[in-house]
Structure 1
Amino acid sequence: MSEQERGGLPRLGFLASHGGSGARAIAQACAAGELSALPVALASNNSASSALAWARAEGLAAAHLSSARFPDPAALDRAVLAFLQEQRVDVLVLSGYMKVLGPQVLAAYEGRVLNIHPSLLPLHGGPGMYGDRVHAAVIAAGERESGATVHLVTAGVDEGPVLAQSRVPVLLTDSVEGLRARVQATEGPLYVRALREFLSAP
């Protein structure tokens, strides 16, 4: 039985590849009492990621789990799942995680994995669409509006149900850097709001 089912706070686990800005925003909201959840664990596929260093400094269970350590994809999938289960994670939050989740993790956490993507899905999502590639595609397509999307993770990349979106204008003079900055400014608050609504849903 999970912590959530026992009436305690839901336990959050994070996967991040670089800075983990979403994880940091969510942890800050939890500490401030704005979000009723308990961050407990973070794993990264990048041993040098600042997200991993941050997690250790914050006292979260932290692990480097990557193909460098587990060359067999099935073994890596099992290692990630074992880490999450050892920490009794109830909800898994992806924070700039640049790898596709394995089938065992997806099955064990079905309906309980959240991700944030820097466009208004279903526009400009899918395999290979991440970071500045997304913003460049938005500008090239002549979109008038962009933003960020929090969605549930399924086997299809960026295909899960949308939970919440933020919206920003795309300016005629926009550069990738300018649009990125405008979208990123909305991502932390959006992730916190989407997670709060997700956790309070019946």
Structure 2
Amino acid sequence: MTLPVAVLVSGSGSNLQAIIDRIEDGVLAARITAVVSNKADAYALTRAHTHGIPAVVLPHAAFPDRAAYDAALLAAVRDSGAEAVVLAGFMRLLGADFVAAYRDRILNIHPALLPAFPGLAAQGQAAGYGVTIAGATVHFVDEKMDNGPIVIQAAVPAFPDDDAQSLGGRIMSLEHRIYPQALHWLATGRLSLHGRKTRLAPASVAPADIQDVMPCLVSPALETGF
């Protein structure tokens, strides 16, 4: 069984590509029913077309207000047959009705170790603050920005001469591994929520080798194939 998911995008879609790659490798138990973008020029749409995935453009400027846009977005996701939603660089907050419709079935990735540095330009915020450890977080989505329960985090070194670009590149190399992993856990029913805490059911899966990337820490641990 595979989980049908819709992926919401606004930009290049590198995390979308990482998910597509793991699906095509046969290790991620999901299938993408639609890629939906609020920007017509998002390169993520090209990635979808390349892999034969249905793509939908819903420019938010074409709608009179947020409620109307969210209603159209929800209709597009439902019409695709998706049972879960993945935000892959989608630069809009989801409304309460959308979140309610897919409660505990929406994942997002943020390029910081939440709850530190929520919101935009997190890599630059972290570099400017002078942190020595930075990273990425996959979390469930609720009605607040970058607020839902955490699924998995990856930590990488941050250096005094880092800027948003250099630190962001280091973080992204692990984003592309932890996001497909988190989606696989959701797709295989291994995640459960207990208040703010996410529990991962054990499985007899060998751990992945993460030291091929850089010195890093990932928790819960990545599994083989991710």
- Please, what TM-score do these two structures have when normalized by structure 2? 0.80
Which residue does 1:138 correspond to in 2? 126
The one-character-per-residue Cα deviations of 1:69-90 (angstroms, maximum 9, x if unpaired) are 2222211111111111111101
Equivalent of residue 69 in structure 1, options 62, 68, 72: 62
Report whether the alignment pairs 1:32 with 2:25. yes
Which residue does 1:53 correspond to in 2? 46
Q: Distance in 2 between matches of 1:106 and 1:15?
A: 13
Per mean C-alpha deviation after superposition, the further-off stretch among 138-147 and 163-172 is 138-147
Report whether the alignment pairs 1:102 with 2:95. yes
Which residue does 2:11 correspond to in 1? 18
Q: Distance in 2 between matches of 1:189 and 1:92?
A: 18
1:190 is displaced (CA, Å) by 0.9
Q: Distance in 2 between matches of 1:165 and 1:66?
A: 31
Which residue does 1:168 correspond to in 2? 156
1:68 is displaced (CA, Å) by 2.2
Runs of 5+ in structure 1 lacking a partner? 1-7
Q: Distance in 1 between matches of 2:45 and 2:164?
A: 27
Report whether the alignment pairs 1:44 with 2:37. yes
Q: Distance in 1 between matches of 2:77 and 2:165?
A: 35
The one-character-per-residue Cα deviations of 1:16-49 (angstroms, maximum 9, x if unpaired) are 0011111111111011101111111011000011
One-letter amino acid matched to 2:151: L
Q: Distance in 1 between matches of 2:25 and 2:18?
A: 11
- Contact 1:77–1:103 under 8 Å retained in 2: no
Q: Distance in 2 between matches of 1:172 and 1:53?
A: 37
Which consecutive aligned stretches of 4+ in structure 1 deviate over 6 angstroms post-superposition?
none
Alignment of 1:163-202 (within 5 A): 163-200=151-188, 201=190
Per mean C-alpha deviation after superposition, the further-off stretch among 27-36 and 168-177 is 168-177
Report whether the alignment pairs 1:124 with 2:117. yes
- Contact 1:152–1:163 under 8 Å retained in 2: yes
How high is the sequence identity, in percent, across the aligned residues? 35
How many residues matched? 190
1:9 is displaced (CA, Å) by 1.5
Q: Distance in 2 between matches of 1:102 and 1:77?
A: 6
1:179 is displaced (CA, Å) by 0.6
One-letter amino acid matched to 2:128: A
Root mean square deviation of aligned Cα: 1.3
1:145 is displaced (CA, Å) by 0.3
Q: Distance in 2 between matches of 1:72 and 1:143?
A: 39
